[in-house]
Structure 1
């Protein structure tokens, strides 16, 4: 019951055709004051892309509600024509509920929620799970919502809603900043020469707009520190910009030590959160710490006085970095002369700290997600067995973009002394879901290999049958081959069946050929029969199994790349297998390939 309450449910406000809050003149004027229309705004698009990544939803929107429509100046993931048109009538608006109630709207399943059950967005925009947080201007007018949308039912967790709420607060700051910037621009056009204060406000507003864009591109703590330093050079002109983070044990960790002398960086690399320093004090108070001169530094943060004296610093300002459960650290600026921040500058630093905190939390999320993906992939890929008398080598590389984990796999299973089963396959997709499906498919096939001594085509049929019986909607290509000696002549025999996979390559001293024969892929709706094939392998032959990520490219056809691969493989026939795989991966996939790559090579002995 608690989870249901946290996620929202049926009941609530039922809107009139034109509720009064939607058409209130003051609110509509506030929407107009943003200057946003049904056109893409790059900064807001980047913001929704960040929301989509952090919450792992297919669609994220910044929706502003006008009298008869909603517009999407920020949108990521919408299908066309909505992504192109950037607007819908109110018949498709969940956001209007947020405006009317001035509160979040949390819907696990719109198809059963009485507040929106008749809304056309459910069918036309595929809106099922929805979480929308109010976006307000400086006077509290609700302009619209920041919303995360799922095309499937979604049980929104308290943590997800807290993160979305924090992001909505930052987005509201951006909208307020936009209004302030437009006002500053208007005044600057009227009295540029007479109003230096307006020029300064404009410059600071531009700084924050640049910050929202530049910080959205960062992925590590070092990147963030460098971006902040570049942003404030030429405006606030500090001598030093510091970022410190609070760890779970209450210790403060300096993240910006590279810009300090080693002895100073070492002194403050890791220290107690109870210390009297600008950063620690800002974190404890949850408020800005302003130190306009050295006397104030001595009075409020005496533990830092020696460092200030040694570095020739005379003033500082430290701003807490906001997090869901309180400050996560502090952003600190230091000057070599007394410096008193005016209210406008304090507001700029507070907004900048919000952007920095989001960037740091996003960087931490991305690192954690990448680590999880790496561990998952390693757990799913098999270690090659001792292949004697055969030589074995394999390589797996995830796609260079995405979650660094995917659905390609290789496998080798020793069935008896000289009888080896070889597998390579590719589940559709290169993300965590594809990796999970791949793991299930791989495990089923391994079980069949050790339990059923049947031709490869029969085992692939059993694999298809098992998937259907267990309700697994897995679509994949796969190739299963048996390698064993031929006792009536010198050499070995390959016995294989191919379910829609690239053909294996046989490499001998005379060249390289593809071993043809291909049936429908695993999970295909057709019930076409599967076939097994055999081929004689001379002593010292090399077999190469690979997934299509090795040669798939947008510049050349698959057949052209396949011919190039055959020629390259033939030229490497005498190379050790690890070198052969490394060279082929480097020359054909490289560091920027868009799909996962799995390679498996086996070499038969020169003599039996």
Structure 2
């Protein structure tokens, strides 16, 4: 759509774009901004797009396909960002191919545009010159966090455009070269600082990482001796962060303080305003209770900016300088903007922690409390992957059945998220019901589970190992198991021999109603049975056979370890590397019997119909 006739800002925009001196060629600063947007948002294409009389052109581009990557321009008929300029605001589109605002735009088909988010780029008068755009070739529901980050990047990009315009105006007006250079350098440093803050805080996932990020904010235009943070805690006090770089005496006295305290951070928190004292005399007059500590630290100027949150202030950032400094409007703007970035990062941390807490609670609810079996000692553990939602499709189960029988289950539904956990919960509940409902062989139980999985329309792909342990009069246990594509169980005898129990059938969901096999093994007194998911033996670059070899070597060296202690040691063993997958494990150890020969019996298999 060409909105030229409805664009009252066209003349002012064309003049301002011309004043940037940019054209249809790449500019290193704007190419870098486009590259950052592409990487941070995970989109295939990101553009810095400006509009003039007859075209849009791209001084910044990342991921643009040919011929557009060479041309760096399109006619206005292709310019979605023209709508940003006319509306003087953001344009967010989930699927351009089905959106009446742009479905007829030829760029949608020619440039493969589906998801689109454009944030306005402005000059000092607020005139929209173009847009900072993120483009996806597939429909995309843009999150609030993604749009907020794109908006922050657009502010930094606008600052760079203003710098160019200011520099060109200053040169044309023949103003003092030194003054122009100083203003331009300060604007450039502010822009670089805000861009750096945005990138550093975008990657922060904990409060500690946020504190580390703000400590790195240094530039000639913004060079405090110390940057710290206070956050409202559960007791409605302001807890101090980042004070570890100060003297022990100061740190011990400023662990936390009430929101009513007569100090800059508390005042900024209460009022929502930036608070600053630019010299020692002002500090002593404004905050006499703090003046001696400030002097002892060698600070001569202090300030605090409130950290905003969705439901009110979260805390405040604190800044200190070793020289007197009366902040100008630009410096205050940087501090308030950085505090805003910190607020966004903290909201993300709070959201992640709430998600993680919910995930941990749900996972614990899905994990079985082990029964007291008397003759068998049991232990089990679950470890989430080192990424994802701290919840996944791995599970274990232990159920006592009539006739002094114990059923053990280990299973793995692919994935490390709530979807995998939901699918796992369905399979787990069905199998528990089948086990309680009737006595049948492990292979028959897995056939019923596979059939139900298909019949109910779930079609979940999973591996499952189901085993029965039946106590014998001589103190041994008969192990009967059926394996649906799962890692082999391992047995450790009192003599330190470690053996994998082979035999496996297709995983659940792979082939409907295929016959399965029940295998048998005599577990001697004092032996230990380990059932686990593949996260215990798999690595990204390793061979799974090597993983089993390392595990068996580890088990052989811990043959006399009680199940609970062995489970803890296996957790430590699993955490010696970055795990791409969850780990679930369950251990059953038979009671030792004096006078009984500890000889492993050969495994043998029988088929079930």
Shared fold (TM-score, shorter chain, > 0.5): yes
Count of matched residue positions in the alignment of Structure 1 and Structure 2:
570
Q: Which residue of 2 aligns with 1:293?
A: 279
Question: Retained in 1: the 8 A contact 2:381–2:585?
Answer: yes
Q: Which residue of 2 aligns with 1:537?
A: 523
Q: Which residue of 2 aligns with 1:174?
A: 156
Per-residue Cα deviation, 1:82-104 (whole angstroms, up to 9, x for no partner): xx99x999999976654553444
SS state at 1:532 partner? strand
Distance 1:516 1:330, change over 3 A: same
After superposing the two structures, state which structure 1 stretch, 292-301 or 444-453, moved more.
292-301
Q: Do residues 144 (structure 1) and 144 (structure 2) align?
A: no
Question: Retained in 2: the 8 A contact 1:221–1:363?
Answer: yes
SS state at 1:232 partner? coil
Q: Do residues 440 (structure 1) and 426 (structure 2) align?
A: yes
Question: Retained in 2: the 8 A contact 1:411–1:423?
Answer: yes
Structure 1 residue aligned with 2:488, among 503, 522, 525? 503
SS state at 1:513 partner? strand
Q: Distance in 1 between matches of 2:291 and 2:161?
A: 41
Distance 1:323 1:583, change over 3 A: closer
Distance 1:279 1:150, change over 3 A: farther
Q: Which residue of 2 aligns with 1:255?
A: 241
Q: Do residues 48 (structure 1) and 41 (structure 2) align?
A: yes
> Within 5 A, what are the aligned runs for 1:195-274?
195=181, 198-232=184-218, 236-246=222-232, 252-260=238-246, 269-273=255-259
Q: Distance in 2 between matches of 1:194 and 1:145?
A: 27
Distance 1:254 1:19, change over 3 A: farther
Q: Which residue of 2 aligns with 1:466?
A: 452
Distance 1:108 1:539, change over 3 A: same
User: Shift of residue 467 of structure 1?
Assistant: 2.8
Larger Rg: 2
Q: Which residue of 1 aligns with 2:120?
A: 135
Q: Distance in 1 between matches of 2:79 and 2:500?
A: 55
SS state at 2:326 partner? coil
User: Shift of residue 306 of structure 1?
Assistant: 6.0
After superposing the two structures, state which structure 1 stretch, 405-414 or 171-180, moved more.
171-180
Q: Which residue of 2 aligns with 1:519?
A: 505
TM-score (normalizing by structure 1): 0.77
User: Shift of residue 501 of structure 1?
Assistant: 0.8
Please list every run of 5 or more consecutive structure 2 residues that lacks an aligned counterpart in the other structure. 597-609
Question: Retained in 2: the 8 A contact 1:476–1:521?
Answer: yes
Q: Distance in 2 between matches of 1:92 and 1:459?
A: 61
SS state at 2:217 partner? helix
Q: Distance in 2 between matches of 1:442 and 1:70?
A: 55
Question: Retained in 2: the 8 A contact 1:19–1:100?
Answer: no
User: Shift of residue 330 of structure 1?
Assistant: 2.4
TM-score (normalizing by structure 2): 0.77
Structure 1 residue aligned with 2:326, among 317, 325, 340? 340
Q: Which residue of 1 aligns with 2:599?
A: none
Q: Distance in 1 between matches of 2:228 and 2:529?
A: 56
Please list every run of 5 or more consecutive structure 1 residues that lacks an aligned counterpart in the other structure. 1-14, 50-58
Q: Do residues 477 (structure 1) and 463 (structure 2) align?
A: yes
Q: Distance in 1 between matches of 2:58 and 2:220?
A: 39
User: Shift of residue 426 of structure 1?
Assistant: 0.9
Structure 1 residue aligned with 2:397, among 395, 407, 411? 411
User: RMSD over aligned Cα, in angstroms?
Assistant: 4.6
Q: Which residue of 2 aligns with 1:52?
A: none
> Within 5 A, what are the aligned runs for 1:305-454?
305=291, 308=294, 313-324=299-310, 327-416=313-402, 418-454=404-440
After superposing the two structures, state which structure 1 stretch, 315-324 or 32-41, moved more.
32-41
Question: Retained in 2: the 8 A contact 1:457–1:530?
Answer: yes
Q: Which residue of 1 aligns with 2:479?
A: 494
Q: Which residue of 2 aligns with 1:605?
A: 591
User: Shift of residue 543 of structure 1?
Assistant: 1.6
Question: Retained in 1: the 8 A contact 2:95–2:116?
Answer: no
